[in-house]
Protein backbone atom coordinates (compact mmCIF):
# COMPACT_ATOMS: atom_id res chain seq x y z
CA UNK A 1 0.00 0.00 0.00
CA UNK A 2 1.78 2.99 -1.31
CA UNK A 3 -0.32 5.46 0.72
CA UNK A 4 0.95 3.86 3.95
CA UNK A 5 4.55 4.19 2.77
CA UNK A 6 4.06 7.81 1.68
CA UNK A 7 2.32 8.75 4.94
CA UNK A 8 4.95 7.05 7.10
CA UNK A 9 7.92 8.51 5.25
CA UNK A 10 6.38 12.00 5.39
CA UNK A 11 6.82 12.05 9.17
CA UNK A 12 9.96 13.74 10.55
CA UNK A 13 13.04 11.49 10.80
CA UNK A 14 11.13 8.43 9.53
CA UNK A 15 12.82 5.64 7.62
CA UNK A 16 11.82 2.31 6.14
CA UNK A 17 13.51 -0.93 7.16
CA UNK A 18 13.01 -4.67 6.54
CA UNK A 19 14.38 -6.47 9.63
CA UNK A 20 11.79 -9.28 9.33
CA UNK A 21 12.29 -9.95 5.61
CA UNK A 22 11.09 -8.32 2.43
CA UNK A 23 7.39 -8.95 3.13
CA UNK A 24 7.14 -6.68 6.19
CA UNK A 25 8.00 -2.99 5.98
CA UNK A 26 8.95 -1.48 9.33
CA UNK A 27 8.89 2.29 9.78
CA UNK A 28 11.11 3.73 12.49
CA UNK A 29 12.13 7.10 13.84
CA UNK A 30 15.76 8.33 13.55
CA UNK A 31 17.65 5.17 12.51
CA UNK A 32 17.49 1.37 12.12
CA UNK A 33 17.61 0.97 15.90
CA UNK A 34 15.04 3.68 16.54
CA UNK A 35 11.53 3.10 17.81
CA UNK A 36 9.04 1.45 15.46
CA UNK A 37 5.87 3.40 14.75
CA UNK A 38 4.30 1.41 11.90
CA UNK A 39 4.60 -2.05 10.38
CA UNK A 40 3.04 -3.08 7.08
CA UNK A 41 2.60 -6.56 5.64
CA UNK A 42 1.73 -5.93 2.01
CA UNK A 43 1.29 -9.66 1.37
CA UNK A 44 -1.38 -9.95 4.09
CA UNK A 45 -2.71 -6.37 3.77
CA UNK A 46 -2.18 -5.78 7.49
CA UNK A 47 -1.07 -2.52 9.10
CA UNK A 48 0.16 -2.50 12.72
CA UNK A 49 0.18 0.84 14.52
CA UNK A 50 0.21 2.28 18.02
CA UNK A 51 -2.91 4.14 19.17
CA UNK A 52 -4.07 6.01 22.25
CA UNK A 53 -5.08 3.91 25.23
CA UNK A 54 -8.69 5.11 24.86
CA UNK A 55 -8.86 3.89 21.27
CA UNK A 56 -7.09 0.63 22.16
CA UNK A 57 -9.75 -0.12 24.78
CA UNK A 58 -12.55 -0.04 22.18
CA UNK A 59 -10.56 -1.36 19.21
CA UNK A 60 -11.98 -4.87 19.44
CA UNK A 61 -15.47 -3.45 18.76
CA UNK A 62 -14.47 -1.96 15.39
CA UNK A 63 -14.72 -4.04 12.24
CA UNK A 64 -11.30 -4.69 10.68
CA UNK A 65 -9.31 -3.78 13.80
CA UNK A 66 -7.78 -6.22 16.27
CA UNK A 67 -5.94 -5.24 19.46
CA UNK A 68 -2.42 -6.64 19.68
CA UNK A 69 -1.47 -7.87 23.13
CA UNK A 70 2.26 -8.10 22.34
CA UNK A 71 2.97 -4.35 22.53
CA UNK A 72 1.17 -1.78 24.63
CA UNK A 73 -1.62 0.01 22.73
CA UNK A 74 -0.85 -1.53 19.33
CA UNK A 75 -3.57 -2.62 16.92
CA UNK A 76 -3.71 -4.58 13.70
CA UNK A 77 -5.69 -2.98 10.88
CA UNK A 78 -7.00 -5.27 8.13
CA UNK A 79 -6.60 -3.15 5.01
CA UNK A 80 -9.05 -5.36 3.10
CA UNK A 81 -11.75 -4.06 5.46
CA UNK A 82 -10.50 -0.59 6.47
CA UNK A 83 -10.07 0.98 3.04
CA UNK A 84 -10.53 4.74 3.36
CA UNK A 85 -7.19 6.32 2.49
CA UNK A 86 -7.54 9.20 4.94
CA UNK A 87 -8.38 6.85 7.81
CA UNK A 88 -5.30 4.74 7.00
CA UNK A 89 -3.09 7.83 6.88
CA UNK A 90 -4.53 9.04 10.19
CA UNK A 91 -3.59 5.73 11.83
CA UNK A 92 0.00 6.16 10.63
CA UNK A 93 0.19 9.80 11.76
CA UNK A 94 -1.32 9.04 15.18
CA UNK A 95 1.06 6.13 15.65
CA UNK A 96 4.08 8.38 15.01
CA UNK A 97 2.85 10.87 17.61
CA UNK A 98 2.03 8.14 20.14
CA UNK A 99 5.53 6.68 19.81
CA UNK A 100 7.26 10.06 20.02
CA UNK A 101 5.55 10.78 23.34
CA UNK A 102 7.84 8.19 24.95
CA UNK A 103 11.06 9.65 23.54
CA UNK A 104 13.55 11.52 25.68
CA UNK A 105 13.16 15.28 25.88
CA UNK A 106 16.27 15.77 23.74
CA UNK A 107 14.95 13.56 20.96
CA UNK A 108 11.53 15.19 21.14
CA UNK A 109 13.23 18.57 20.89
CA UNK A 110 15.11 17.44 17.76
CA UNK A 111 11.70 16.64 16.23
CA UNK A 112 10.42 20.14 17.21
CA UNK A 113 7.96 18.61 19.67
CA UNK A 114 9.20 20.49 22.75
pLDDT band at residue 94 under the 50/70/90 scheme: very high
**Residue 76 bridge partners (DSSP):** 48, 66
Cα–Cα distance measured from residue 2 to residue 66, given in angstroms and rounded to the nearest whole number: 22
pLDDT of 27-71, one tens digit each? Answer: 999 999 999 999 999 899 999 999 999 999 999 999 999 999 888
User: What stretch of H or E contains 2?
Assistant: helix 2-9
Q: Give the model's pLDDT for residue 109.
A: 93
Q: What is the pLDDT of residues 75-87, one digit of tens each?
A: 999 999 998 999 9
- Cα distances (Å, whole numbers) of residue 70 to 6, 75, 113: 26, 10, 27
User: Which CATH number applies to 2-109?
Assistant: 3.90.1150.30
Strand partners of residue 47: 40, 77
Q: What is the pLDDT of residue 98?
A: 95
DSSP annotation string for 21-75: -TTEEEEEESSTTSPEEEEEETTTTEEEEE--HHHHHHGGGSTTEEEESSSTTEE
Amino acid sequence: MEEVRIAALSMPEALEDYPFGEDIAVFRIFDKKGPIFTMLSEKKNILNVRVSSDFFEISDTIDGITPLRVWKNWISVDLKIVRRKQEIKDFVYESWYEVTENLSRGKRKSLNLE
